[in-house]
């Protein structure tokens, strides 16, 4: 038995029921940075009703909005740590209508402003 096949078998045995759905949605978010499809578009892509998708995500302990926020948070943190992108550029790349909305969201996600986050990371 090949190692990849064993790993795949183990993953299907040990992962939560909706693990693959969450992974697929995360892949969609990754490939659509700044222009995320809305909830109904995602449900349609999986050929299910919005209600079914909402229920399956709830069973997985999450929601579409939580997945979007988590993706945006991780992307923003990575940009602030690893690039010299301005806060304006990060906000625009994530599809925020203005930088103030991005700053408020970032502070809600991480607990500090983007500028404070970058300063803390540079100091450590």
User: Rounded CA gap, 10 and 75, in Å?
Assistant: 29
Per-residue confidence band for 1, with pLDDT thresholds at 50, 70 and 90: very low
Long-range CB contacts (within 8 A, 24+) of 84-89: 87/114, 87/115
The tokens describing 121, both together, are: 């990371």
**What is the separation, in whole angstroms, between the first and last Cα of the chain?**
46
Instruction: Examine the pLDDT at 3 and tell me if it is beyond 80.
Output: no
* CA dist., res. 105 & res. 100, Å (int): 9
Q: Is 110 a residue whose pLDDT tops 70?
A: yes
CATH 1.10.10.10 fits 3-123, yes or no: no
Residue 35: DSSP 8-state: S
Q: What is the pLDDT of residues 62-85, one digit of tens each?
A: 999 999 999 999 999 999 999 999
* Residue-by-residue DSSP string for 69-96: HHHHHHHHHHHHHH----HHHHHHHTT-
Higher pLDDT, 87 or 19: 87
- What's phi and psi for 91, nearest 5 deg? -60, -45
pLDDT, one tens digit per residue, over 13-50 is 445 668 889 999 999 999 998 888 999 999 999 999 99
Burial of residue 28 (number of CB atoms within 10 Å: 0-12, 13-18, 19+): middle
- pLDDT at residue number 16: 64
Task: Give the per-residue pLDDT at 120.
Answer: 87
Give the pLDDT confidence of 98-109 residue by residue, as tens digits.
999 999 999 999
50 vs 4, more confident: 50
Domain boundaries, the chain: 3-123
């Amino acid at each position: 038995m090949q190692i990849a096949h064993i790993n795949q078998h183990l993953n299907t045995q040990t992962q939560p029921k909706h693990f693959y759905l969450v992974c697929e949605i995360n892949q969609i978010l990754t490939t659509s940075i700044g222009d995320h499809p809305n909830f109904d578009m995602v449900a349609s892509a999986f050929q299910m009703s919005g209600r079914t998708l909402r229920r399956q995500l709830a069973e997985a302990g999450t929601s579409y909005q939580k997945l979007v926020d988590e993706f945006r948070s991780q992307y923003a943190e990575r940009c602030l740590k690893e690039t010299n992108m301005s806060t304006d550029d990060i906000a625009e790349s994530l599809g925020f209508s203005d930088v103030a909305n991005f700053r408020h969201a970032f502070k809600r996600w991480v607990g500090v402003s983007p500028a404070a986050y970058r300063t803390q990371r540079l100091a450590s």
